[in-house]
Amino acid sequence: MAKNNFQKAKGVKDWYRKDSILRNRIKNTLRNVFERYGYNPIETPMIERTDVLGYKGGGEIQKEVFSVIDQGGRKLALRFDQTVPLARFYSTNNDIRLPFKRYVIGEVFRDGPTQPEQGRYRIFTQCDIDILGVKEMTAEAELLSLAKDAFYELGLGDVEVNINNRKLLDGILDYAGIKESAKNPAIVALDKMDKIGIEGVRDELENLSRDVNGADLTKDNINRLMETIRLKGTNDYLFNELSRIIESERGKEGLKEIKQLLDYSKAMDLDFVKLNPSLARGLDYYTGTTIEVYLKNKDIVKSAILAGGRYDNMVGEFKGDGKEVPAVGMSFGLERLAMIIDNYEKDLPQTTTELYLIPLKTTDECLKIARELRSKGLNIDIELRENRKIGKSINYAESQGINYVGIIGQDEIKKGTVMIKDLRKSEQEEVKLEAIIGYVKAKINK
């Protein structure tokens, strides 16, 4: 028979062993933190209508949408984020009362370039929290507090949170004398800071000034902008410097919001929050606060490991009933978090199984013992094949990353015991049936 050569689709990944166990651990941790902060779960379908996904917010992402065709020839597509589906959810479920705080953990699909070394695949998992209906900075303050708890519980305590505000950034661009038409290209250039560094941003701005729209961005504009984004110092220092130069109404509003958010952060002892006037999230739907979280140790990932911000217009425009729906949210990327934790933690578990039972001509009794131990909460696997040599069974348990095997022969059955071997130490001990759970759990938790 010819071997088949079936492949998985391009740019996607199977998760198993330590990867899948770690993914479950991260999802559980985030779910717990989200629920502690009063976010409730929702799930929306992975398939949405094309007009829904095409409406807003996608921008460049539109080029990466996977189309889906149903039997009725309807135009459908796979969701590319969790924010557009949230807007659709809010506008099609009329029983949702504001404020609406929801979390969602689920796959999104983008047919774009993959970067496995950055945890980037065509199917990836976004863990999003959003608050609809709160215009106050208390919402952002709560998100920052949540971020601190989440990273701490994930074992990634060493992070730095950068915040900025679109209105404030607008005020800075006004201060630099940048005209409306050049503001977006300038923001796009600023957004590349992590990747190309501050001198790279200057080059990018200078290139912009030389292209067809060059007249809109003068040398003086660039100098004033660079001087502002080069400012370094404490939050208080930066705030004072910016207060001195920001003149536009919008810019002042941004300053006021940032001040309020910094004050709330101080009240909660969130000392990791850092005002960064150059922070410019790419997505064009942001209207106020922007947030990015980085690892302090940049060796593994230079770019943000959590990002979000305020988007007060999008949800209301989507629903289209003329009411503004203030909104703010953040998105954790599961694959990237898993990649980082995998880098940080040695000895991630390869299996969820705690004990591997090997019956020696005692299959009936062993099935019964396994059933009892399982009902008391021990994760048990068992040699299900007949007439295997004991060495092969032990070798199998080892290959699966299981650390303890329990051997049950006629002798053990008579005595009501199990011979438990620690495979890492080549030690063994005869343990009474009723003591097994305590024995194994104690060993594991050592």
| Least Å from the CB of residue 258 to its own copies | 16
| Least Å from the CB of residue 322 to its own copies | 5
Decide whether 145 or 428 has the Cβ nearer to its own copies.
145
Decide whether 132 or 340 has the Cβ nearer to its own copies.
132
Sequence-distant contacts of 8-17: CB under 8 A, at least 24 apart: 9/122, 10/122, 11/111, 11/114, 11/121, 11/122, 12/121, 12/122, 12/123, 13/116, 13/121, 13/123, 17/350, 17/351, 17/401
| Least Å from the CB of residue 151 to its own copies | 13
The neighbour count for residue 10, using CB atoms within 10 Å, is: 8
| Least Å from the CB of residue 75 to its own copies | 10
Piece of the chain touching its own copies by CB under 8 A; list 69-77, 277-285, 423-431, 435-443: 69-77
Rule CB under 8 A: say whether 271 interacts with its own copies: no
Q: x/- string (CB under 8 A) for its own copies, residues 173-212? A: ----------------------------------------
> Of these, 59, 60, 63, 203, which contacts its own copies (CB under 8 A)?
63
Q: x/- string (CB under 8 A) for its own copies, residues 337-356? A: --------------xxx--x
CB contact at 8 A, 262 and 271: no
Decide whether 67 or 207 has the Cβ nearer to its own copies.
67
Residues contacting its own copies: total by CB under 8 A: 109
CB contact at 8 A, 294 and 305: yes
Alpha-carbon span 154 to 148, nearest angstrom: 10
> Of these, 26, 52, 325, 436, which contacts its own copies (CB under 8 A)?
52
| Least Å from the CB of residue 347 to its own copies | 17
| Least Å from the CB of residue 11 to its own copies | 9
Cα–Cα distances in angstroms (integers) from residue 66 to residues 73, 82, 111, 121, 389, in the given order: 15, 15, 6, 14, 51
DSSP letter string, 339-402: HHHHHH-SS--S-S--EEEEESS-HHHHHHHHHHHHHTT--EEE--SSS--HHHHHHHHHHTT-
Alpha-carbon span 446 to 426, nearest angstrom: 17
Rule CB under 8 A: say whether 336 interacts with its own copies: no
CA 135 from chain center: how many Å? Answer: 24
Piece of the chain touching its own copies by CB under 8 A; list 8-16, 168-176, 305-313, 404-412: 8-16
Residues 89-148 interacting with its own copies (rule: CB under 8 A): 89, 91-93, 97, 99, 101-102, 107, 109, 111, 122-123, 131, 133-136, 138-139, 141-142, 145
**Contact partners, residue 179, CB within 8 Å, separation at least 6:** 216, 217
Rule CB under 8 A: say whether 13 interacts with its own copies: yes
Q: x/- string (CB under 8 A) for its own copies, residues 385-414? A: xx---------x--xx--------------
Neighbour-count burial of 253, counting CB atoms closer than 10 A to its CB (0-12 exposed, 13-18 middle, 19+ buried): middle
CB contact at 8 A, 258 and 165: yes
Alpha-carbon span 429 to 417, nearest angstrom: 10
Rule CB under 8 A: say whether 313 interacts with its own copies: no
Q: Give the pair of three-digit tokens for residue 420.
A: 């438990």
C-alpha closest to that of 186 among 292, 46, 280, 288: 280
Q: x/- string (CB under 8 A) for its own copies, residues 14-43? A: xxxx--xx-xx------x---xxxx-xxxx
Rule CB under 8 A: say whether 67 interacts with its own copies: yes
Decide whether 50 or 118 has the Cβ nearer to its own copies.
50
> Of these, 299, 346, 377, 424, which contacts its own copies (CB under 8 A)?
377
Find the distance separating the first CA and the last CA of the chain, reported in whole Å. 51
| Least Å from the CB of residue 181 to its own copies | 26
